[in-house]
Chain A
Amino acid sequence: MQGDTRTMSPPHAGNDDAMASVWRALGSIVDPEIPVVSIVELGIVRNVARAGHEWIITLTPTYSGCPATRVIEADVRAAVARIVEGPLRIVTALSPPWSTDWVAPEARRKLADAGIAPPGSGNRPASETRPLLFRRAAVKCPNCGSLRTEELSRFGSTACKSQYRCLDCREPFDYFKPH
């Protein structure tokens, strides 16, 4: 499936009760690897639609190889089946590609509360020929707020995070990579 360019419908759009409860159910599903934010807040749920009796839920993967993708699909099936009748079709949309720009402001706060620095926009790689060598924007420590931090590794505990260390409070922390 491809080419679904619709932007995410706002939760509870319209006055359709069933539609609102499906969005609510989806909003209660947390990301299996970062269980403090929901898949709606992360921008993984792109659309909910109805065609006759069928429910069509459009999801987008964060990273191509993210192992959580299948778990999320199973969670969506289970949650939606509890709420509404009728067959459910899950559509995977690759385009437009998922971006951390879609991570909701509320989710950014929750990430920081959980000790994960939320994605910034300063050091997103942009060029194919001039990689950002060693020059990365400052990342704020989620523990003490210091901007004196350093990258330990480009990759962390999941595909979407890298590892940092605070030079002031000395705590290591995860940084949700801008993508």
Chain B
Amino acid sequence: MLFDYLLRLADNGLVLAQRLGEWVGRAPVLEEDIASTNVGLDLLGQARLWLAYACEIDTGDAPPVRTEDRLAYYRDAGEFRNLLLVEQPNGNYADTIARQYLFDQWHVLLLAALTASCDARIAAIAAKAVKEARYHVERSADWVIRLGDGSAESHARMQDAMDALWMYTGEMFAVDATERALVDAGIAADAQALQSPWIEAVRAVLSEATLAMPRDDWMQGVHARGGKQGRHTEHLSRLLAEMQILPRSYPDAIW
């Protein structure tokens, strides 16, 4: 159960880092090329910390040789536990920024809550990562405002991006049986409790950006299944195909 929760934490960073890496050499301006990939680098570093911990968890079943790389490169899409939001394609830069802000704003709240975990390892990783996430959310919020309160074109694109991605934000706050048990044990953060501060923060930023709050629509909830249960959109397997091809084609390759 803890293993599964650690994968949820790790896979968000791993998958989003891979998406951000797709901008290398292609971002609209050089500064953003560097910023996107630096954020990705932080997220990848955090993912490694979670994966390293996951490798040490005894799940009871005949343990395969477990390493960070095995977990990153040899799991198929159905075994990934990331949120659907982070696997969505980069789209135009407003899509990328909307995805980033909606995630960052949740991530920073989640990590802050996890610093109080009674699992000392989780608390330590969260305390390290939350400092980075606070910086990330400042940048992505800045860009939501710049684009939202920018030209008519950038405003329209930013609004479209928020509206399109909103439906994927529901599962960030859904607590299934796995999480509930860990929350009760004081290990996991109660994702449900993050919803109202998240809404409040998002509302403030969107208002500053002259953007409308998207309408709530169908979302993955407690009873529906989404990324956290391994039910992904079609985009994840294509992302993994690119991310995993080298170690799968040349298993002994060393960088």
Contact = CB atoms under 8 A, between A and B. Distances in A.
Contacts of A128: 108-109, 112, 130, 134, 137, 197, 201
Interface string A115-144: 000000000011111111110000000000
14 contacts: A63-B42, A64-B128, A65-B43, A95-B128, A98-B128, A125-B138, A128-B108, A128-B109, A128-B137, A132-B138, A133-B141, A154-B135, A179-B131, A179-B135
Contacts of A131: 134, 137-138, 141-142, 201, 205
Given A97-B128, A126-B134, A155 B38 contact: yes
Given A64-B42, A133-B138, A154-B142, 18 more contacts: A2-B120, A63-B45, A64-B46, A66-B45, A94-B127, A95-B120, A95-B127, A125-B134, A126-B134, A128-B197, A128-B201, A131-B205, A152-B31, A153-B31, A153-B32, A153-B35, A155-B139, A157-B34
A174 to B, nearest CB: 12
B125 A94 contact: yes
Contact of B132 (A2, A64, A126, A156): A64
Listed from nearest, the 5 A-B pairs whose CB atoms lie closest are: A65-B45, A64-B45, A153-B31, A65-B41, A95-B124
B121 interface: yes
Interface residues on A, range: 20 to 34
B48 to A, nearest CB: 7
A129 B135 contact: no
A64 B13 CA distance: 11
B135 A125 contact: yes
Contacts of B108: 128
A108 interface: no
Interface in B17-51: 31-32, 34-35, 38-46, 48-49
Nearest to B145: A133
Interface string B103-135: 000001100100000001101110111111011
A97 B34 contact: no
Interface in B169-219: 197, 200-201, 204-205, 208
A61 B42 CA distance: 11
Nearest to A97: B128
Interface centre among B34, B43, B44, B49 (most CB of A within 10 A): B34
Interface string A55-77: 00000010111110000000000
Contacts of B132: 63-64
